[in-house]
């Protein structure tokens, strides 16, 4: 599954060393969003120089990187410049064209590979991978059908009525609940497919979720694997609102199964880098419910942001180590934590007018860690930053998180 050419050839890129051109060792990232920014910050802490390829002039990662190449993801000159500057390249954005990663991989180690990013960016291929691995990973995905043609749409009504009510999801370019329509009947399904312009989709059966969780795995060029314990996630209107990261956040039996499944999915992809696998906990009448795999992200994930403040190695540290061929430390979580996402809504009052949040009150809380991504314009639903609350025990973390959510009027308050 891996491009293969660099696996054997990968020698560690040490921070602070010089490359062949006499430049400081430099790591590159495709995409300039907040995930790129936190990657850049982790790489720089270790002593690397960084380069970001991002078309926007003002981006969270571009602002803090040594080099910002302002170019589109498929711009040959921009990619050549990135390859010239960097000793290894990663991505923060799974919708980067697979051809871009392939081109870069001709001359530089690229992690994760074009092949695995290609699978993760297409729900049809992603679900085929989950299904192929189910016997080994022990976890299946939700019952689903592919809809690419009117005949396949008709077949749902005729043969797969069990998938309704369901969620119609575009095969490509979905995130934060975008490109998804909930449908109850065959008529609603047909209307929804038309609304989505008849693009390739999957129809997934609507499952009775009791919880959601995700697992972060890091895997090196040499096959070494480390992972974080599963975090429990709460979504509000399709967007992650709260992550609970502490012992006891979910039944241990489920947590162990999720972690083992995520590792096995990464191994089957011959994955290099940080992979996040999202799971549903579904009510099947059993004591804890059963685990269903939802989707995977070929990069660090919003649900892993707590690792910056609550662990001795963060998901971004591991991304740096993995791509650079450094040893992967097994991360240790030293504090229980809750992460609260800060959407643009926090900056908008009831009339939609801009207001400055009461940071003084928020920053007065014990164990609070504020991360703002440097985005210049607050818009409803836009991820502007996050808060991580750490503390000596779960009770104090919950108290701090409730206070912060109350001060900022966050939707997650009901879920802490």
Among 209, 290, 348, 394, indicate the residue that binds ligand ATP (CB under 6 A).
Answer: 209
The one of Mg ion, ligand ATP, none whose footprint includes residue 142, by CB under 5 to 8 A per kind, is ligand ATP
Among 19, 134, 157, 176, indicate the residue that binds ligand ATP (CB under 6 A).
Answer: 176
Q: How far is the CB of 160 from ligand ATP (least distance, A)?
A: 14
Does residue number 411 form part of the binding site for ligand ATP (CB under 6 A)? no
β-pairing, 140-141 vs 290-297, is parallel
Contact assessment for residue 51 and residue 69, using Cβ atoms and an 8 Å cutoff: yes
Among 92, 204, 270, 317, indicate the residue that binds ligand ATP (CB under 6 A).
Answer: 204
Does residue number 382 form part of the binding site for ligand ATP (CB under 6 A)? no
Does residue number 167 form part of the binding site for ligand ATP (CB under 6 A)? yes
H helix runs in 95-239, sequence order:
98-105, 114-120, 123-137, 150-159, 186-195
Q: Nearest 5°: phi and psi at 258? A: -65, -40
Instruction: Give me the residues paired with residue 24 across strands.
Output: 18
Does residue number 359 form part of the binding site for ligand ATP (CB under 6 A)? no
Would you give the binding string for Mg ion spanning residues 5-24, x where CB under 5 A is met?
A: --------------------
Does residue number 234 form part of the binding site for ligand ATP (CB under 6 A)? no
Counting DSSP H helices and E strands in the chain, the numbers are 12, 18
Does residue number 192 form part of the binding site for ligand ATP (CB under 6 A)? no
Does residue number 143 form part of the binding site for ligand ATP (CB under 6 A)? no
Number of chain residues interacting with Mg ion (CB under 5 A): 1
Which residues from 52-71 bind ligand ATP, rule CB under 6 A? none
Among 52, 142, 217, 226, indicate the residue that binds ligand ATP (CB under 6 A).
Answer: 142
Does residue number 218 form part of the binding site for ligand ATP (CB under 6 A)? no
Contact assessment for residue 205 and residue 156, using Cβ atoms and an 8 Å cutoff: no
Q: Which is nearer to ligand ATP, 81 or 95 (CB)?
A: 95
Does residue number 295 form part of the binding site for ligand ATP (CB under 6 A)? yes
Buried b (16+ CB within 10 A) or exposed e, 137-150: bebbbbebbebeee
Q: How far is the CB of 333 from ligand ATP (least distance, A)?
A: 22
Does residue number 392 form part of the binding site for ligand ATP (CB under 6 A)? no
Among 125, 132, 175, 358, indicate the residue that binds ligand ATP (CB under 6 A).
Answer: 175
d(CA 303, CA 214): 7
E strands, 43-184, where?
49-53, 67-69, 88-91, 140-141, 144-147, 166-170, 180-183
d(CA 95, CA 160): 30
β-pairing, 26-30 vs 88-91, is parallel
Which residues from 250-279 bind Mg ion, rule CB under 5 A? 278
Among 84, 172, 235, 398, indicate the residue that binds ligand ATP (CB under 6 A).
Answer: 235
At 320, which helix (H) or strand (E)? helix 315-324
Number of chain residues interacting with ligand ATP (CB under 6 A): 18
What is each CA distance from 297 to 40, 116, 278, 302, 379, in whole angstroms?
A: 19, 10, 8, 10, 24
Contact assessment for residue 32 and residue 61, using Cβ atoms and an 8 Å cutoff: yes
Q: How far is the CB of 277 from Mg ion (least distance, A)?
A: 10
Among 163, 207, 225, 313, indicate the residue that binds ligand ATP (CB under 6 A).
Answer: 207
d(CA 406, CA 395): 16
Does residue number 212 form part of the binding site for ligand ATP (CB under 6 A)? yes
The one of ligand ATP, Mg ion, none whose footprint includes residue 174, by CB under 5 to 8 A per kind, is ligand ATP
Q: Which is nearer to ligand ATP, 104 or 242 (CB)?
A: 242
At 205, which helix (H) or strand (E)? strand 201-205
Does residue number 190 form part of the binding site for ligand ATP (CB under 6 A)? no
Taking the CA atoms of 193, 195, 201 and 206 in sequence, report the sign of the dihedral they define. negative
Does residue number 122 form part of the binding site for ligand ATP (CB under 6 A)? no
Q: How far is the CB of 238 from ligand ATP (least distance, A)?
A: 5
Taking the CA atoms of 320, 326, 331 and 335 in sequence, report the sign of the dihedral they define. negative
At 259, which helix (H) or strand (E)? helix 252-268
- Binding interface with ligand ATP (CB under 6 A): 142, 167, 169, 174-178, 204, 206-207, 209, 212, 235, 238, 278, 294-295
Q: Residues interacting with Mg ion, by CB under 5 A?
A: 278
């Amino acid at each position: 599954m891996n491009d293969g050419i660099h696996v054997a050839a990968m020698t560690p890129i040490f921070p602070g060393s010089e490359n062949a051109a006499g430049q400081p060792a430099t790591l590159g990232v495709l995409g300039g969003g907040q995930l790129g920014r936190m990657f850049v910050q982790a790489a720089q802490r270790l002593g690397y120089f960084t380069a970001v390829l991002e078309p926007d002039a003002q981006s969270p990662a571009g602002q803090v990187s040594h080099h910002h190449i302002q170019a589109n993801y498929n711009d040959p000159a921009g990619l050549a410049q990135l390859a010239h500057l960097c000793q290894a390249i990663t991505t923060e954005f799974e919708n980067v064209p697979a051809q871009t990663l392939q081109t870069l991989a001709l001359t530089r180690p690229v992690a994760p590979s074009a092949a695995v990013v290609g699978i993760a960016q297409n729900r049809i291929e992603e679900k085929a991978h989950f299904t192929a691995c189910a016997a080994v990973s022990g976890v299946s995905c939700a019952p689903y059908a592919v809809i690419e043609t009117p005949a396949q749409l008709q077949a749902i009504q005729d043969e797969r009525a069990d998938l309704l009510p369901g969620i119609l999801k575009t095969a490509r370019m979905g995130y934060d609940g975008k490109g998804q329509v909930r449908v109850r009947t065959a008529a609603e399904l047909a209307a929804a497919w038309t609304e989505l312009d008849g693009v390739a989709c999957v129809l997934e059966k609507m499952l009775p979720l009791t919880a959601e969780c995700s697992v972060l795995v890091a895997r090196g060029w040499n096959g070494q694997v480390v992972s974080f314990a599963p975090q429990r996630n709460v979504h509000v209107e399709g967007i992650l609102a709260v992550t609970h990261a502490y012992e006891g956040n979910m039944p241990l039996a489920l947590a162990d199964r999720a972690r083992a499944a995520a590792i096995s999915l990464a191994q089957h992809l011959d994955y290099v880098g940080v992979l996040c696998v999202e799971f549903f906990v579904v009510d099947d009448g059993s004591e804890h419910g059963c685990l269903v795999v939802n989707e995977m992200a070929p990069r660090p994930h919003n649900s892993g942001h707590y690792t910056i403040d609550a662990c001795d190695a963060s998901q971004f540290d591991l991304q740096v180590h993995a791509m650079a061929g450094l040893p992967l430390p097994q991360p240790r979580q030293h504090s229980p934590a809750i992460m609260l996402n800060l959407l643009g809504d926090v900056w908008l009052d009831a009339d939609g007018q801009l207001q400055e949040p009461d940071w003084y009150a928020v920053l007065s809380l014990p164990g609070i860690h504020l991360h703002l991504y440097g985005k210049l314009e607050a818009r409803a639903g836009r991820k502007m930053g996050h808060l991580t609350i750490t503390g000596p025990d779960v009770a104090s973390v919950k108290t701090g998180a409730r206070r912060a959510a109350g001060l900022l009027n966050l939707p997650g308050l009901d879920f802490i």
